[in-house]
């Protein structure tokens, strides 16, 4: 499996996102939420969304970029395929805090 995050591994269609938001399982922690569904594809797909009034564009893009990087590093450890959406909330979170949120949610959802 390639280590990069390829285009096919990104969730982008509104219909896919609506399906996950409507019937996906949800786990929450302070500052983030994960929604996921089991997929029939041979690989997992991923998306990051940000709530409104998150901050500046620089803050939004940085936060999404680091979550994509966390997923890219963890995807080879996933034994099954899922469609995963992370919803991120504003706050004064450091890189380590965001990594802890990602790790907690992925373990809680039993994805890794």
Query: In tens digits, what is the pLDDT along the chain, a chain of 112 residues?
Result: 567 788 898 998 999 999 999 999 999 999 999 999 999 998 899 999 999 888 899 999 999 999 999 999 988 888 788 999 999 999 999 999 999 999 999 999 998 8
Q: Which domains does the chain have, with CATH numbers?
A: 7-108 (3.30.230.10)
Residue owning tokens 């809680």: 108
Q: How many CB atoms lie within 10 A of CB 99?
A: 15
- Distance CA(37)–CA(24), nearest Å, equals 5
Q: Could you tell me which residues come within 8 angstroms of residue 76 by beta carbon, excluding any fewer than 6 positions away?
A: 1, 3
Using CB atoms within 10 Å of the CB of residue 76, give its burial: 0 to 12 exposed, 13 to 18 middle, 19+ buried: exposed
For residue 30, what pLDDT is reported? 94
For residue 76, what pLDDT is reported? 84
- Distance CA(27)–CA(36), nearest Å, equals 9
pTM of the entire structure?
0.89
Q: Which DSSP helix (H) or strand (E) runs through 59? A: helix 57-74
């Amino acid at each position: 499996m390639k280590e990069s995050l390829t285009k096919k591994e990104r969730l982008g269609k509104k219909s896919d996102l609506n399906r996950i938001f409507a019937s996906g399982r949800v786990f929450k922690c302070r500052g983030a939420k994960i929604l996921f569904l089991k997929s029939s594809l041979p690989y997992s797909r991923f998306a990051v969304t940000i709530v409104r009034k998150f901050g500046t564009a620089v803050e939004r893009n940085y936060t999404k970029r680091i979550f994509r990087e966390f997923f890219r590093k963890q995807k080879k450890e996933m034994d099954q395929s899922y469609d995963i959406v992370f919803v991120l909330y504003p706050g004064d979170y450091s890189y380590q805090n965001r990594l802890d949120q990602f790790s907690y949610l992925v373990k809680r959802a039993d994805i890794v």
